[in-house]
Structure 1
């Protein structure tokens, strides 16, 4: 796939796990790939081999990420989450289970007034995901 970076792109800052997270996320969704990775070399401002800047896509949506070698007083918060519409119940179940592993469930997977199947989870890196099942068409 050929990608141009959109003018507004979700940008994720990790502390040494950017490449691991990208590989994990791209393994979860179809039409996903790592687009580019630039790593820190020796004697540069980041830890050698960590991600200086990378781009990846999930279901065709482009994201950017970095590894920061500076310790910050903040990390990811559920107030900002990635909202994913899954095509099948199998996809919702599989992705939710994988993201919840070593993470935390914020809203259990289930039926809600706004979705027949929905779950909210913070993954092991602290990134929050809202997963919903695409609305099924009218019954015939």
Structure 2
């Protein structure tokens, strides 16, 4: 099984935090998706970052999104695994779900990838996605 592991940071200010990391570590924002890009989004959250991809320090990728409410330092980080094959993503999701809690089932998303979230039995949050 082959996968890429990325940090996923949930922030009160994702854009500001990404700009800081890009400057501090040398890098650039590769893409930004806001909640306003999805159908039926309430007006008050349309500008919030749903998903941002940041390349830093020679190509290392960090994902960021805006949180809803105050962040608790050290508690708003998820580990994101990106798989090329749906079967591998499903296997990892099932394995991590054992004795854990499925937060969002692994399902096909409007942007064309499979995505799901699980908190493992140790309390670590994982996001599983196909690329």
Q: Same fold (TM over 0.5)?
A: no
Q: Report the TM range for the smaller structure's normalisation.
A: 0.3 to 0.5
With normalisation by structure 2, the TM-score equals: 0.42
Q: Normalised by the size of structure 1, how large is the TM-score?
A: 0.40
Structure number with the higher helix fraction is: 2
Question: Higher strand fraction: Structure 1 or Structure 2?
Answer: 2
Greater RCO structure (CA 8 Å; 6+ sep): 2
Larger radius of gyration: 1
